[in-house]
Amino acid sequence: MESLIQPRILKGFRDFLPEAEITRSTLIEKLTDVFRSFGYVPIDTPVMEYSEILLRKSNGETEKQVFRFEDNGGRDVALRFDLTVPFARFTAEHKDELYFPFKRYHIAKVWRGEKPQAGRYREFIQCDFDCVGSDSASSDFEILSLMKAALQAIGVEDITIRMSHRGIFNQFLEKRNLTDKSEDILRTVDKLAKVGKEEVASQLESLTGSNTTAEEILEYITPADTFEQTLTHMEAMAGGESENTRRMREIYAMMEAAGIASSFVLDPSITRGLDYYTGIVYETFLNELPGIGSVCSGGRYDNLAGLYMKEKVPGVGSSIGLDRLIAGLQQLNKLESRKSFIDAEIFCLDKDMMTEYHRLAQTLRQRGVRCEVFPDPKKLLAQYTVAEKKGIPFGITLKKEDVAGNTVTIKNLATREVFENISLDKAIDILLRKN
């Protein structure tokens, strides 16, 4: 006899049972509504790309995390590790079919071969939203405003969005003749929250060959008390006012006008590790659970699409790490749990009445009640048990005499309250929780 294969999944990957997937799907629906309200439209791209496309503008750390292999045709391919690089390829490939500025959202799976840990998996969903074709403070602000609105829509209120500007940091480094080491320095600073100030200082000293320079960098990335004080500090160390510092002041003025400035902090230690960012960058932290890391991050990447096309197309965007966010909200007990989308279960008392059960179900759905018919004439207790396991709030029984009188009996499965032989209109009001 052939032996059975043990059912199992790869480390860092997960199955989602209905309760978990309902939570994720519901959050995605809410996020989608917000993206659309800001004028963003959906796109999709292949999960697999040529490795050259994905890795041309990346560092060694990224390459270590990519699932890369040779396909059956001998092609060097990889699974996408984010949605931004494929979007740059998409923009270049379809530039003649798009309009600019072009605003898109993309909610899909990505893969990274990093070490699994709390809130981090090798397969996870990202929710990206980007605007390409505009290099303006307005576009920068809109992305930041959309981040705030999207998280608010899914009940994430207590957050801090830490932001900075790579351009100002690059001015600071240029003034000290460190431009050739800028990418390594930026990546080192990006590790501050993970490895601490002393380790960053040690790495910076090794990179620059100077303890004094390392201390200057640490001084630069230390924020002051207010947005303006921090920006003035950055500005002074970077050589004075510039287009980049003026851009930050303009963005902050829009935040204040929109009444959302209190959620944002100017933090020059925020650099984002990926190479393609050129302007404003940002990361979002749950105030009650900062240790889980950023749950929404991004920035301006004006030269990314230039890897695939001659024309320069400016862009700015952000990404919500949905699975990490869900893990954080679960730790904080801030996720509403449900096991189905059904409002009511129509119980099967008599298999000969199945036609009437489905007729009733059709009527209820047309009136806005989500319902299903139990398919087998099992004992009523068994049907109750299944409905309760699925978290269905109401049960409906229909007898032959109810059909003629256009009545039903409904039961609240949580409270055990029964409403006997009530009119269909009254039942619908109860099922829709109108009274």
Residues forming the annotated binding site for L-histidine?
Answer: 82-84, 112, 126, 130, 272, 276-277
Torsion-angle region of residue 222: left (phi > 0), alpha (psi -120 to 50) or beta?
A: beta
* Cα 7 to Cα 26: distance, rounded to the nearest angstrom: 28
* Cα 308 to Cα 54: distance, rounded to the nearest angstrom: 11
Distance from the Cα of residue 248 to its chain's centroid: 25
**How open is the CA angle 265-336-424, to the nearest 5 degrees?**
135
* Cα 21 to Cα 242: distance, rounded to the nearest angstrom: 48
Residue carrying structure tokens 């699932």: 67
Question: Reduced to 3 states, what is the DSSP secondary structure of residue 115?
Answer: coil
* Strand order across the 371-373 sheet: 371-373, 344-346, 394-397, 407-412, 418-423
- Give the number of C-alpha atoms closer than 13 A to the C-alpha of residue 253, restricted to the C-beta side: 8
| CB atoms closer than 10 angstroms to residue 203 | 18
End-to-end CA distance of the chain: 60
**How open is the CA angle 105-107-111, to the nearest 5 degrees?**
130
141, 125 contact by CB (below 8 A): no
Please enumerate in sequence order all residues whose Cβ is within 8 A of that of 49, keeping only pairs 6 or more positions apart, or say none: 77, 78, 80, 85, 86, 89
DSSP-derived secondary structure for 9-48: --TT-----HHHHHHHHHHHHHHHHHHHHTT-EE----SE
The tokens for 269 are 């230690």
The β-bridge relationship of strands 344-346 and 371-373 is parallel
* Cα 340 to Cα 343: distance, rounded to the nearest angstrom: 9
DSSP-derived secondary structure for 283-338: EEEETT-GGG--SEEEEE-TTSGGGT-SS---EEEEEEEHHHHHHHHHHTT-----
Binding site, residues? 82-84, 112, 126, 130, 272, 276-277
